[in-house]
Structure formats: structure tokens, C-alpha cells
Amino acid sequence: MELLHRERSSRSRITQRLTQAVLDDVDNVVLIERWIARQKANYKPNSKPSLELHFPNEVTGRSISRADYDAHGLQAPARDVHGVKVTLHYVQGMETPFIVLISTPEA
């Protein structure tokens, strides 16, 4: 049981590090700042931008392509992916006015 807990804890730290890297990426910071400014000026509750970042030297997860699934069903091969996609949600009144809605591995 402790081994499982340590493994989950380690994965959680990796996920947190990769998510933070997406948020800290220079290009993404500009996109986030522009989105926050637009939300402050004209709040749109359904505005949930997604940001991506590629990590060429790090496996961020595994995925099955739609084409492979269509061709092979449950026997479709999973492939390593090297990207992360982060979706944000605006929250008024917070010092950092957004939360990470979801962070997922991406091809």
C-alpha cells in the first residue's frame, strides 16, 4: 500500500511540475495575461482557454489515436506522448484570477 502511495505522490509531483511549466512558458504567459484582461473587461463564463507545451525529452503520458482505435478497437497500441494541455477557468476575486480546470497529456 505504501508503494502505491509513493507512486501516486511521485506522479502527482510530475503532473504539477509539467502543468506549472505550461503556465510559466513565455508565450503562454502572454496568452494568459490577454485572456485575463478580456475577462476583466467583459466576463464570459464559458471562456476556458487551453494552452499546450511540448516536452521533447520527457514522456508525459500515453495515448491511442482515433485512427488506431478505429482500426484496432481495444487492441489499439498506446504510444508515448510528449506534450501537456492545460485548460483554465476564470475566477473573479482571486489574486491569481484563474484555476487549472484540467491538465492532460497530449500528443
- DSSP SS3 for 35: helix
Q: Output the pLDDT for position 6.
A: 66
Q: Structure pTM? A: 0.85
C-alpha to C-alpha distance for 4 and 2, rounded to whole angstroms: 5
- Percent of the chain, pLDDT > 70? 93
Residue 99 is classified by DSSP as E
**Model confidence at 2: pLDDT above 80:** no
**Over 38-56, what HEC string results?**
HHHHCCCCCCCCEEEEECC
- For residue range 84-98, list pLDDT tens digits in order: 999 999 998 889 999
List Cβ neighbours of 18 (8 Å cut-off, separation of 6 or more): 53, 55, 58, 60, 84, 103
Task: State residue 39's pLDDT score.
Answer: 96
Give residue 12's pLDDT band: very low, low, confident or very high (50, 70, 90): confident
